[in-house]
Amino acid sequence: MNRIISLLAAAASWNICAGNPAGIALPQDASLDVLPVPLSLDNRALPNSPSGGYAPGAVDCPSTRPTIRAASSLSAAESSWLERRRNNTVGPLSSWLSRMNISDFDAAAYINTHKNNATALPNIGIAFSGGGYRALMNGAGFLAAADARTSNATNTGQIGGLLQATTYLAGLSGGSWLVGSVYTNNFSSVEALRDGHNDSSIWKFGNSIFEGPATGKFKVLSSLSYFESIESQVSAKADSPLGFNTSITDYWGRALSYQLVDAPEGGPAYTFSSIALTDDFKNGDIPFPLIVADERAHDTKIVSINSTVYEFNPFEMGSWDPALYAFAPTEYLGSNFSGGSVPDGQKCVRGFDQAGFVMGTSSTLFNQFILQINSSAAAGVPTFLRDIFTKILLRVGDANDDIAQYQPNPFYSFNNATNRNSQSKELTLVDGGEDNQNIPLNPLIQPNRNVDVIFAIDSSADTYYTWPNGSSLVWTYRRSLNATIENGTAFPAIPDHNTFVNLGLNTHPTFFGCNASNMTGPAPLIVYIPNAPYIYNSNVSTFDPSYNNTERNAIIENGYDVATMGNGTLDREWPTCMACAVLSRSFTKTGTAVPAACQTCFTRYCWNGQLDSKEPSGNYTPPYKLSELKISSAAPAAVTVMKTSAYISALAAAVANVLV
């Protein structure tokens, strides 16, 4: 299955990593462990909740009262921001393309010629799939490789600087943890987040979210005090006189934040919309973050391919899908919108878009755990715990608490003709991968955004051994063919998932949509980059709740190799080919002849339309592409028993709190 199963089940996992051994020592030109002084994590998104804590608060509405708008265009705020960002990518794009070294092509001169016509220059998006901690760490490897701030990432054969030339970053489920953590921590580099500082528990996954942080000045005295703190924060929201419902997602998001937001108690007052107030974002110096979730109908546990896809960005939350076709201002979620406006005489609400709650919304999969608990996916869970979880979570599901509750529904009585949820006071959202689109491509293929190329980083668990097989692209392609929901989007033709495996398209980067003239409409070129074992088996189980620093670093390093094809070891022309993919649509727009080096790249990496749809023989088990990095990650038996006992005790406390 290509979706992360709820990490509640992690408390029963017996594959528990050891404590906190020293980092990996690797050669300087290939290492993410040989680092400069970590970048500061002191500045971050703002504690912008008016209550000063997790609970939203009532405020006077601004003079121009917030309203719901139809999704017929980009918001005025995004359009204004986009002008600054596109101008700010010209220099980094020129520098990056020049370093990628396309033979017989003067990249700097090309960019300079077209710099005054932003629509002719490449518009780049990066999408990080779901997959829990696996997705966060593998995605972090790509992000580090693409970031010019990473040690040695701008050396020959490296791809650093792509991030600085990118316009949009999208994340879903575990990918949303990566995107959300980067932005709520002042757009920190992966190196800075990975290494933290003496007072920080940021990205310290040795203790699972069922225990609480063990290091830094924010560490908790016990699992019980940790859950008491979370319970107190969520209760403040539940007991608010504004009348908010709460769900397990509130607890889930609060627990995640302790690992992802470098602030006391995981920054309960930090909001997602406050990203728009930071100087780097306001000035267009960093990309535009997007987080994806799905709508799920009341009293159901299945999300279908035609379910409404929602996005969160610093300005707005809503959907481009025809069923809703509307956006609400993110900052004022929780306000009592009716028919598209907050009624006169009523106050507005701020603080509902708490950063951890938004990340938790994108990764809420308790209903999937219920559906999968008795399947082979949960085979490692002891029977007695499986029975306990089933009983508890069925109770939760029956109460409709296994979703993220957006109440009051911002789209109440709006677009009544098509909005199936228009007469409900509550909007229910779940993990963005539950419709099988585990890579968050939907926001990036919207015609209004005019994205030319998307780097699709796939950490999905599609195969028996938790490797991707392209299924997410398949589902997005199928959705684009449905006239009732595609909303003018076009997507390149994608083969079936058996073809991905049989032809090895899931073992290395593959380009889809190379021939722009052979599609039904303007669609971006997709650079598919699947998780694969270069130096480490990064296909870790979604059931693993904790990772010591050694294994965390190894998975990030493997992701770096996935991004760079082993620092060019497997193909020294790979950086050139990435640059050709970025320029492909621009060449078409400007009528520029494709350089010979790019023609060679397209022959090598573009899917040629061949199919091999027979069932693959055996379970997909890819070999290492480079020399295996051997690390020790197995905990002593006594430690395993102690940690497992702690997980169960902590889980019992959490469940007791949730069900009170």
| H, E, C per residue of 195-219 | HCCCCCCCCCCCCCCCCCCCCCCCC
Average pLDDT for the chain: 84
The per-residue pLDDT for range 120-169, each reduced to its tens digit, is 999 999 999 999 999 999 999 999 999 999 999 999 999 999 999 999 99
Task: Measure the N-to-C terminal CA separation of the chain; round to a whole number of Å.
Answer: 33
The Cα–Cα gap between 251 and 356 comes to 9
Q: What percent of the chain has pLDDT over 70?
A: 80
Question: What pLDDT sits at residue 639?
Answer: 31
Segment 189-214 mean pLDDT? 87
* Residue 32 reports pLDDT greater than 80: no
Q: Give the residue carrying structure tokens 């409409």.
A: 521
Classify residue 535 as exposed, middle or buried by CB count within 10 Å of its CB (0-12, 13-18, 19+): buried
Residue range 293-311: average pLDDT?
81
C-alpha–C-alpha distance, residues 406 and 410, integer Å: 8
Residue from 210, 174, 230, 540 nearest 363 by CA: 174
pTM for the complete prediction?
0.88
Q: Is the pLDDT of residue 11 over 90?
A: no
CA dist 11 and 134 (Å) reads 17
pLDDT tens sequence across 573-627: 999 999 999 999 999 999 999 999 999 999 999 999 999 999 999 999 999 999 9
Rounded-to-integer distance, Cα 316 and Cα 84, Å:
18
Residues in a beta bridge with 455: 126, 527
The answer to whether the CB of 68 falls within 8 A of the CB of 335 is no
Residue spans of beta strands (DSSP E) within 513-569? 525-530
Task: Label each residue of 368-402 as H, E or C.
Answer: HHHHHCCCHHHCCCCHHHHHHHHHHHHHHHHCCCC
Which of 24-38, 103-117, 195-209, 333-347 is predicted with the least confidence, judged by mean pLDDT? 24-38
Largest Cα separation within the chain, whole Å, is: 69
Work out the burial of residue 72: count CB atoms within 10 Å of its CB; fewer than 13 is exposed, 13-18 middle, 19 or more buried.
Answer: exposed
Residue 423 burial class via C-beta count within 10 angstroms: exposed 0-12, middle 13-18, buried 19 and up:
exposed
297: its two tokens: 């109908």
9: helix, strand or coil: helix
Q: What phi and psi values does residue 634 have, to the nearest 5 degrees?
A: -85, 130
Give me the amino acid identity at 211.
E
**pLDDT tens-digit readout, 423-458:** 999 999 998 888 999 999 999 999 999 999 999 999
21 pLDDT band (50/70/90 cuts)? very low
Give residue 515's pLDDT band: very low, low, confident or very high (50, 70, 90): confident
Instruction: Specify the CATH number for 7-58+77-279+290-659; select among 3.40.30.10, 3.40.462.40, 3.30.43.10, 3.40.1090.10.
Output: 3.40.1090.10
CB atoms within 10 A of CB 22: 9
Which of 250, 435, 436 has its CA nearest to residue 358? 250
Tokens of 456: 């699709």
221-235: average pLDDT: 79
Q: What confidence category does residue 281 fall into, taking pLDDT thresholds of 50, 70 and 90?
A: very high
